[in-house]
Amino acid sequence: MNTTTNTAARNLEIKAWASDFERQRERAEALSDSGPELLRQDDTFFCCPNGRLKLRRLADDHGEILYYERADSSGPSESKYFRGVTEDPGVVKEALGRALGIRGTVKKTRTVFLAGRTRIHFDEVEGLGRFIELEVVLAPGEPASAGEATARKLMRAIGIEESDLVETAYVDLMEERNVRAPRW
């Protein structure tokens, strides 16, 4: 199994219900430097005493293991994360599932745009609906407030209202609704 990792990284994130998915997507595309990139993601979340741990399967021979710490907050929140890449996500899922237990699975189609240092995600999540995420990449030592200013500016430009913001991860929303994502 070939696996590579990175050191800790940080970003400033928001997640929101999409109030007008197509119109908001058009606005994001007009603001973006690149995209759209279409991805199908199958995220398996593992039981984890601190933060969240998930395996993102992108293909049979390509996946990412992500551990992140982020407060549940409806406003922009700083996220600290570690990311590793694997060529055998099936083995990683089996090993972590046996060791830690599987908390849940989230399947989504994600359209990604890049606007400066911000990744803009338009997510269609099976069993939940349509969402928008903003991830403002923070430079080492940069205060989270700088990323928050960028996120709030993009929220206004895309048409994301404070009342649209979501506090938790998709897996938490699925647990709250007792939703089980169908298998692809």
The tens digit of pLDDT for each residue in 81-131 reads 999 999 999 999 999 999 999 999 999 999 999 999 999 999 999 999 999
Q: What residues pair up with 80 in beta bridges, in sequence order?
A: 10, 69
pTM of the model: 0.87
User: Could you give phi then psi for residue 175, rounded to 5 degrees?
Assistant: -65, -40
Q: What is the pLDDT of residue 4?
A: 52
Question: What amino acid is encoded at 14 in this protein?
Answer: I
Please name every residue paired with 1 in a beta bridge, in sequence order, or none if there are none: none
**Residue 55 corresponds to which tokens in the numbers above?**
């395996």
Total residues found in the chain within this entry = 184
Residues 99-132 as b/e (b if ≥16 CB within 10 A, e otherwise) read eeeebbbbbbebbbbbbebbbbbbbebbebebbb
Identify the helix (H) or strand (E) that includes residue 111.
strand 102-115
Query: What percent of the chain is predicted at pLDDT more than 90?
Result: 77
Q: Pick the more confident residue, 72 or 21.
A: 21
pLDDT at 181: 45
> Residue 72: pLDDT band by 50, 70, 90 thresholds?
confident
Q: Return the exposure string of 43-68: e unless at least 16 CB atoms fall within 10 Å of the residue's CB, then b.
A: bbbbeeeeebbbbbbeeeeebbbbbb
Amino acid at 50: N
Q: Is the pLDDT of residue 184 over 70?
A: no
Domains and CATH numbers, the chain: 3-174 (2.40.320.10)
pLDDT in tens, 30-57: 999 998 999 999 999 999 999 999 999 9
pLDDT digits (tens, 9 = 90+) for 155-177: 999 999 999 999 889 999 988 88
| Least reliable range by pLDDT among 3-7, 107-111, 130-134 | 3-7
**In the predicted model, is pLDDT for residue 19 greater than 50?**
yes
Rounded CA-CA distance 78/158 in Å is 21
